[in-house]
Amino acid sequence: LFNRRKASLSSGLLFALACFLLTGLATVYETWMLSRIDLGAYLILGWGSQTLWTAVVTWPERKQLKVLKIRKNFAPILGYALANSLKGICFVAALKLSDSASLVTAFTSFMAVMVVVAAYFILKERSWLWIKIGAAVAGSAGLFILNGVWHIAW
């Protein structure tokens, strides 16, 4: 049992590290692309190709679309999709307006910390509160250290 847990932990850490590196690479690439083409072409080419490969990859799961026919599921799913699209547009616009990908990433990464705060106030979630607060503080400190935001704060 211990070896399985240790292997699971190491594979989880490797997966988290790979996601972290790919997110950083994608942010740098988006900033580079936005310096080469205009925002409209980026949205059409970037999001168009993203939509295409997503549709191709999820094609075998198309039978799950019947979930959208249920009236109570449609509005929350549509709302999430629209909010996520707006989030993406704002992220790309922020990259375009500021010339600092690390600063934009620091502010967008702060969303994970805000989820802890929202879970406490909105969902009234009190279990494991000190661990969540500690994780939020450690996450905020990590964001400040990794992105050099302390220079701005001082």
Q: Which amino acid is at 131?
A: I
Task: Kindly report the pTM of this predicted structure.
Answer: 0.50
Average pLDDT of the segment spanning 89-93: 82
Helix axes 101-109, 71-97, angle to 10 degrees: 150
Supply 76's token pair: 């929350």
Name the band, by pLDDT with cuts 50, 70 and 90, for residue 59: confident
Task: Give yes or no for residue 153 having a pLDDT over 70.
Answer: no
Cα angle 55, 24, 32 (rounded to 5 degrees) comes to: 85
Task: Give yes or no for residue 95 having a pLDDT over 80.
Answer: no
Name the band, by pLDDT with cuts 50, 70 and 90, for residue 54: confident
pLDDT at residue 146, rounded to an integer: 63
16-53, pLDDT tens digit by residue?
A: 888 778 877 777 777 777 777 777 777 777 777 778 88
> What is the separation, in whole angstroms, between the first and last Cα of the chain?
49
Q: Are 104 and 91 in contact (CB under 8 A)?
A: yes
